[in-house]
Structures are given as structure tokens and as C-alpha cells.
Amino acid sequence: MKILEKDWLTRDLIDFEYKKYILLSYLQNVQSYFDKKKLYPHLSDLVFHYRNLQALKTNKDFLFENFPQKITGADFKKLKIHYQKIIEDDALMTELEQILSFAIPTLRNTLNQGRGLYEQVEEQLQVEPIGICPLYADDGYLLITERTKKTTQVYQYQITVFENVEEKYRGIHTRYLETVKKKITSTYENLKLKLIRKYPDLPNPATYLVDIKQDIPFHETVMPVAKRLLVKYISAAA
């Protein structure tokens, strides 16, 4: 994966043509993955950079604190180093404004394509509980069936809650257990019973199925979308 450095905007030469080349090269690479329906980690990376650019555009304090600095003098007697912000350079600020004016809408266009692809994939996936789900559903099994391959990937999942003064966030951790070949005579209820016998640490597990009808990249797209869908499903049911 070709990455865009976190400080790509302010590092090295701050020149419109140079930064335009760096950004377009990065986005071209991202687009090549989207064309293959490979969403992650490229989509989350795009979100990160887009939010950073918006913050730099609207929050002057953030801009001041994150801009590169150069040493203008040192008072070794008092052990103090004085800095002059490069942001004081009017010509440099004009160049930066030009870069931001180009970068923000350009990056937004690619980000919207990624979000559109995410929505298309999400519409094709559906979370379905297997058997009776216990009241506590933050630990259990996630079954992902790929019809084109006639296999079911089995994962153990754990949902963690993060809270701050304003909001509550849910994160999910998954651990791959095994891949099961789908047979005509086998059912997901039987698979759940086998998992209970094989992994006795979860005697009454919540178990959910995500059924994939089309051939979509698994690790880059199916798995991250399925995990987010499962968190939404469990959160809504809580």
C-alpha cells in the first residue's frame, strides 16, 4: 500500500505543484484498489487525511501548533530556544491556502467513491442470529459464509465499550478459529453446537451469520464491513 504521510502537507517543500503530485499519486493508487472493491485500510486512511485537512483549514490554533518550526536563536545561559513559526511567512501561507483549496475537494471526491462502494457492499450483507441469542451478546461467534466458495469462516468476537464524558463507543476484536466446508446436510445450528462442544469457554454464545452472495475481497472489504455491521446490530438490540 502506498501511504500518504500524516504530515505530508507541511513536510519537505511546501509547493503547490509538488504537493499536487504527491496527493494525486496517492489517490491514483487508492482508486486502483477501489476499482478492485478493496476498501480497507484505504477508506479509513482517506477519512483520516480528509479530517486533518479540514482541521487545518478551519482551526487556526491547530495549524499553528502543527506547523514546522525553525530555530532563530538560542539562549544557552537560560536554556531557552526561541522559535519563529514558518506560518509568519505570507508567501508560504498563500501557497498553503492554494494547496488546501485543491486538496480538500480532490480528496473528498475519492472519499465519496469509497463511501459509495462501502454502502453497496453493506447492502449486500445482512446479520442474522443463529439460534437463541443470550442477553449478553458482547462475546460470541461470527460466521461468514462465502457462497461462491461454499465455505464458512468462523471467528470469535468480543465487543469492547469505550466511554468519554460525551459519548459511548463500541469496538470489536475478532479472532479467526477455522474454516468449515459447507455441506448440504449441515446447518448453522449444528455448527453452533459443534463450536460449543469444541470451545467450552463459551457455553452459551451469541452467534451471528453474515451471508455473502457475491465474490468480494474478503480481508480488505467483507471482514471490516461485516464487523461494523455486527457492532451496529448488537448495539441496536441492546
pLDDT in tens, 163-208: 665 566 789 999 999 999 987 778 999 999 999 999 999 999 999 9
From 111, 141, 151, select the one nearest 208 (Cα to Cα): 141
**Per-residue confidence (pLDDT) for residue 135, from 0 to 100:** 86
Exposure letters 160-181 (e unless 16+ CB within 10 A, then b): eeeeeeeeeeeebebeeeeebe
- Point out which residues pair with 69 in neighbouring strands: 85
What's the pLDDT score for residue 59? 67
- pLDDT score of 65: 60
Mean pLDDT of 147-160: 91
pLDDT for residue 81 is more than 50: no
Domain residue ranges of the chain, discontinuous segments joined by +: 16-123, 126-237
Confidence of residue 70 (pLDDT cuts 50, 70, 90): low
Per-residue confidence (pLDDT) for residue 88, from 0 to 100: 56
- Among residues 94, 44, 39, 87, the alpha carbon closest in space to that of 63 is found at 87
Higher pLDDT residue, 4 or 164? Answer: 4
Share of the chain above pLDDT 70, in %: 83
Return the CATH architecture of domain 126-237: 3-Layer(aba) Sandwich (3.40)
The sign of the dihedral angle between the CA atoms of 57, 62, 68, 74 is positive
pTM of the model: 0.80
What pLDDT shows up at residue 191?
A: 94
Amino acid (1-letter code) at residue 168:
K
* Position 238 pLDDT exceeds 70: no
pLDDT classification of 110: cutoffs 50, 70, 90? very high
Q: For residue 77, is pLDDT > 70?
A: no
| 158/140 Cα distance (integer angstroms) | 7
Mean pLDDT of the chain: 85
Closest of 165, 129, 79 to residue 237, by C-alpha: 129
Predicted confidence at residue 76, as pLDDT, reads 41
Give one DSSP letter per residue of 81-112, joined into a string.
EEEEEGGG-HHHHHHHHHHHHHHHHHHHHHHH
Query: What's the confidence (pLDDT) of residue 7?
Result: 86
How far is Cα 196 from Cα 191, in angstroms, rounded to an integer? 9
